[in-house]
Amino acid sequence: MRKLALVGYGKMGKLLDQLAPEYGFETVLRLDEVNNHAGAGITAENFQGVDVAIEFSTPSAVVDNLERLAKLRIPTVVGTTGWSQHLPHVQKIVADYESALVWSPNFSIGVNVFVRLVREAARWMASEPSYGAWAWEIHHATKKDAPSGTLEKLVAEMKSAGFNRRIDISSNRAGSHPGTHEIGFDSPADTITLRHSARNREGFARGALRAAQWLPGRKGCFEFADVLFEIPA
């Protein structure tokens, strides 16, 4: 079995740990806010023999964690959100140390298919000026970033598909909701609504483990869409 390190051991980390054997992994290192304070747990000694790491920590810790992992040349899957403004810096570090990274605002397979559906709808609607658009999401009250990285990705894909009119963006945070994203187009004649709703965190964990299976032996920065759609494993 491949050796897996979990950097971040909250709800997602514990779920990854539970599911890891199904994907051929033995978890050999578990780092949390206590034993990895200020990145102190990411050392060559601790990561000796580790094949791949999955990072699900916090926005304030993720960039430092990723830099340390890249310097150790540990292939890493990062599921933490709220740090995308630092992506160019992280990509440079990964390239400089010839390491490997898979990142995504969302590791749900369904969400990644949903992104492609939204992009195609936006491409067709770009030339229909009677249609306005909105983008909305809701997550649990403890989610720190709003709008979510997934909603930002959806809006970016709409714009890259040529939809240059205003997109009204809104977010809600309440209760324990695992996540719903909605994109809509409305005209005087009709409304089109596209929606993805997560039932629980399991889909995110399984996607991250699938990426962790795929990453070892590769170099560079990849998105989860590369794992699913573009680059043969």
* Cβ neighbours around 60 below 10 Å, total: 11
Asked if 139 is an active-site residue, the reply is yes
CA distance linking residue 18 with residue 39, whole number of Å = 24
The question of whether 144 is a catalytic residue gets the answer no
- Identify any residues that bridge with 167 across adjacent strands, giving them in sequence order: 133
154 CB neighbour count, 10 Å cutoff: 29
Catalytic residue among 3, 71, 143, 219: 143
Q: Kindly name the residue from 139, 153, 181, 196 that is annotated as catalytic.
A: 139
The residues annotated with a catalytic role in the active site are 139, 143
